[in-house]
Amino acid sequence: MVRVRIDLHTHSTVSDGTDSPGDLVRIAADAGLDVIALTDHDTTAGWDTAVRSLPPGLRLVPGAELSCEAPAADGRRVSVHLLAYLFDPAAPALVVEQQRLRRERRRRLRVMAEHMAADGLPVDPDEVLGELGPDAPAGRPHLARALVRAGLVRTVDEAFARFLGGGRGYLVPRSDTPVATAIDMINEAGGVTVLAHPFASSRGPTISEDTIAELAERGLTGVEVDHPDHDPATRRRLRGLADDLGLVRTGSSDYHGSNKTLVIGQETTEPDQFEALLAQATRAPVAAS
């Protein structure tokens, strides 16, 4: 039997990927995927183009990766990315919060760009923001690409390592959505939620197991176990946690085009886990008509 291949976490040019939503679904089909989710940061603006461009045989799971925060044990907050799938994109509370977040992203990226320009780095805040649409979710990869274009660094990865990562001076925090609120909003909008790369510690402090247990009680559907930023031991730990809490386990590439070196479909979700995820959503994936 031919195995169904499912990648539930990808980004397009609508956020910080480098392939348009139309190219992304074609690339997914060419890579032999059967199911692809489009999960741009804090926006659903790519859904329509992806649906219109859908090659025959590929199923699209419309989604988003929501920028959230959770309380940490020491009273501070940790950044949490929440994958949301198959929700009503017009749900009023969600629309308002996503608009606030996109404005917050622009504000924060401008502050970062201004700090960098003030230190003499080749970054023009107006130019970086001007290149993005007025409602685009501005992010650090957009600054990273400006540094690559200026010849200061060779790759986006190098820009993060030298200038944009935590503790490198230019990272400015954002006011993100409390993750419990985001889960409620998505459930209200008929969708399902999966914690993205929950234990990816290279990105900074991570959410605790206790908080994940609370979110499971609250209505979280799953956790991303197989992700390029999780090592084998982390995957084993998350798999055990998911089984203890009755959460769906997903696997996904977090493809960002040439902004990252990974390939689409390099991590995938087991078909039975995908079915378990769909069973909790009120909408179904989209197929080419």
Token readout for 51 is 């649906």
Q: In the range 123-182, which residues lie near Fe ion by CB under 5 A?
A: none
Q: Could you give the CA distance from residue 287 to residue 289 in angstroms, rounded to a whole number?
A: 6
81 binds Fe ion (CB under 5 A): yes
| Contact set with ligand AMP (CB under 6 A) | 16, 41, 139-141, 156-157, 160, 256, 259-260
Closest CB to ligand AMP belongs to which residue? 139
59 binds, among Zn ion, Fe ion, ligand AMP, none (CB under 5 to 8 A by kind): none
| Minimum CB–partner distance for residue 277 and ligand AMP (Å) | 22
| Minimum CB–partner distance for residue 74 and Zn ion (Å) | 26
116 binds Fe ion (CB under 5 A): no
| Minimum CB–partner distance for residue 27 and Fe ion (Å) | 17
Nearer to Fe ion, 196 or 220 (CB): 196
| Minimum CB–partner distance for residue 76 and ligand AMP (Å) | 17
Nearer to Fe ion, 34 or 193 (CB): 193
Stretch that binds Zn ion, among 18-26, 123-131, 147-155, 252-260 (CB under 5 A): 252-260
254 binds Zn ion (CB under 5 A): yes
196 binds Fe ion (CB under 5 A): yes
Longest dimension (CA), the chain: 59
Nearer to ligand AMP, 87 or 163 (CB): 163
Angle at 196 between CA 54 and CA 222, to 5 degrees: 90
| Minimum CB–partner distance for residue 41 and Zn ion (Å) | 7
Q: How many residues bind Zn ion (CB under 5 A)?
A: 2
Please give the backbone phi and psi of residue 94, each rounded to the nearest 5 degrees, phi first: -65, -45
Q: Could you give the CA distance from residue 238 to residue 103 in angstroms, rounded to a whole number?
A: 33
Nearer to Fe ion, 34 or 67 (CB): 67
260 binds, among Zn ion, Fe ion, ligand AMP, none (CB under 5 to 8 A by kind): ligand AMP
Nearer to ligand AMP, 177 or 187 (CB): 177
Stretch that binds Zn ion, among 14-22, 98-106, 110-118, 246-254 (CB under 5 A): 246-254
156 binds, among Fe ion, ligand AMP, Zn ion, none (CB under 5 to 8 A by kind): ligand AMP
Q: HEC profile for the chain?
A: CCCCCEECCECCCCCCCCCCHHHHHHHHHHCCCCEEEECCECCCCCHHHHHHCCCCCCEEEEEEEEEEEEECCCCCEEEEEEEEECCCCCCHHHHHHHHHHHHHHHHHHHHHHHHHHHCCCCCCHHHHHHHCCCCCCCCHHHHHHHHHHCCCCCCHHHHHHHHHCCCCCCCCCCCCEEHHHHHHHHHHCCCEEEEECCCCHHHCCCCCHHHHHHHHHHCCCEEEEECCCCCHHHHHHHHHHHHHHCCEEEECCCEECECCCCCCCCCCCCHHHHHHHHCCCCCCCEECC
Residues that bind Fe ion (CB under 5 A): 16, 81, 196
Residues that bind Zn ion (CB under 5 A): 65, 254
